[in-house]
Amino acid sequence: MRRPLVMGNWKMNGSLSSNDSLLHALSRQLKDLDSVDVAVCPPFIYLPQAIDLCESTRVRVGAQNMSDQDSGAYTGEVSGDMLRELGCTYVLVGHSERRTLYGETDQAVAAKTEKALEAGLVPVLCVGETLEERQSGEMESVIGRQVKAVLERCAISSFTQIVIAYEPVWAIGTGETATPSQAQAVHAYIRQLLAAEDAEIAERCTILYGGSVNEKSAKSLFSMADVDGGLVGGASLKADSFSAICRAAAQSL
C-alpha cells in the first residue's frame, strides 16, 4: 500500500514570525500522526528557518523550485546540491505557475527532475491541463506529453523516487476543485502511462492531487483509489486547516 503524502506549498507567502507560529502549531497538532508523510515548501529565504524548526518533528521540508544546472554564472538560481546540503527532502518541479508565468518547458522540467534525482532530492513532478485544454479534449495529450518528457530523460526506473502531483490549472487558487471522480480518472490515466513501461513501478508511484484542496474536499478526494495525498496551497498556511487535511489522508488508509 502506498503511504499518503500531504505537502504544503506556501508559494510567495510567510514571514519569520508567522512561519514560527505555523510550524510550532503543526508540530503540536501532527505529533501523533505517524501514518502520513507531511512536508512544507516555503520560499527559498525561509528554508533554513523551516528546516531548523522541523528538525525534531514529523514535518519534512521541500523547496518550490530549483535550477537545471549544477553551478556557475546563473544569477538568482539555486542548485539541487545546495538544497540537499541545507537539509531539504523534496523539491517541486514544473508547478503550473512556473510553466505558465515563467515559461518553463516540458524539457526544462525534465532536466530539473534529473538534477533533483542526482542531488538525492525527491522531485515532485507537477502536471496538469488548463480549462481550455480540458474543454477541447486535450487533457490526456497534455498530461501524457508532460509525463513522457520526464520518462524519456530519466527512464521509468526513476519513478520509484519521483512523486507526481496532478494539478488542474483551472482549479489552482480559484476555489474550484476537481470532483473526486475527475481526479481519480486523471490519476488512473497517469498510472496507466507509467504501467505501459513498468506495472510494478506504476503501482508504487505516489500521485498527489493539487488544486484548491481544503479540509472540506480532502476526505472525498483522498478516498479515491489512485489519489495518494495532496499538494496543498492556501490551506497549508493555516495550521488547523492543514492538520485537518493531513488527518483526512490518514483516514483514507
Q: Which of 97, 104, 133, 167 is catalytic?
A: 167
CB within 8 Å of 72: residues ≥ 6 apart: none
Query: CA of 146: how far to CAs of 31, 51, 115, 181, 207, in Å?
Result: 36, 31, 17, 22, 14
Q: Which of 95, 104, 133, 187 is catalytic?
A: 95
Burial of 137 (0-12, 13-18, 19+ CB in 10 A): exposed
Query: CA of 27: how far to CAs of 21, 239, 243, in Å?
Result: 10, 9, 10
Is 95 part of the annotated catalytic residue set? yes
Nearest to 208 by CA among 51, 39, 10, 42: 39
Residues comprising the chain, all counted? 253
Is 85 part of the annotated catalytic residue set? no
CB within 8 Å of 77: residues ≥ 6 apart: 66, 67, 69
With beta carbons less than 8 A apart as the criterion, state whether 6 and 229 touch.
Answer: yes
The residues carrying an active-site annotation are 95, 167
